[in-house]
Amino acid sequence: MALTLQTFSAVKDANAALMAAGTRYLGGGTLVVRAANEGDVSVSSLVRVTEPSLSAITASGGEVRLGASVTMAAIARDPDLAQLAPAARAVGGPAIRNMATVGGNLFAPAPYGDFTVALLALDAIIVTEDSEVPIQTFLAGRDTSRAIVTGVTFVLPRAESFRFLKVSRVKPKGVSVLSIATHLQRTADGTVTSVRIALGCMADRPMRARAAEKALLGCKLTAEEIAPTLAVAAEGTSPITDPIASAWYRTQVLPVHLGRLLLG
């Protein structure tokens, strides 16, 4: 079946076109075009938008807005977003990063979506034409969402408060075994006062490690004090099994890599 492509200059017109059956939004194309090439016949028409704001990066007063069409490559080379560069570089190779977008990454199924893990740890807000919702709410309902995501906003973290790690095999290289992002606030003596821990591949979409977050509050980042956090790291998770790793393996290595990330 041949695919048709509709191009619009405004998001509102594209949103209307997306109401038709068999229609999907085309951002960078790394997901939807690949699916079509692999024989997905559920999509008969693609919709794209050329509105310039979708490709804009703005940072002011510590708050960042990424348009949904901003690519991973653009994030990785932006000096104002240096803290997020490791998460952006975790997405595919150079060719993929030149195409993969912020909006597309939000919809990427596990084991993909590494950048969304970082956004979840930062408690980002997902923006559409007529609403703004917390990223956790968006992820919970993304499978039924039809509104075009226009951007994401978040407070830029201090370098020492945000950490990101992607774990992958040597062969095949690239696809995640799991990914972890942490955003911590600490007192002068190092006691954790606020914490968000986001995980990739430990469910069918990025999720918060709530039990680990609760255990880490009030602790210092020492091997002894984070031990209870690591003991409950996999609590509440439903890791995927795929050709890269089994659910059991992901559960076993999560505490190891979370510990390494917390200890720096």
Q: Per residue in 9-49, pLDDT tens?
A: 999 999 998 888 888 888 888 878 887 778 777 888 888 99
- List pLDDT tens digits, range 133-165: 999 999 999 988 888 999 999 999 988 899 999
CA atoms of 264 and 10, how far apart (whole Å): 45
Q: What is the pLDDT of residue 1?
A: 57
Given a cut of 60, is residue 237 above it in pLDDT?
yes
**255 confidence band (pLDDT: 50, 70, 90):** very high
pLDDT mean over 209-216: 98
Give me the mean pLDDT over the 58-63 stretch.
Answer: 92
CA distance 63 to 124: 10
The string of pLDDT tens digits covering residues 87-112 is 999 999 999 999 999 999 999 999 99
CB 151 within 8 A of CB 131: no
Quick one: pLDDT at residue 146? 81
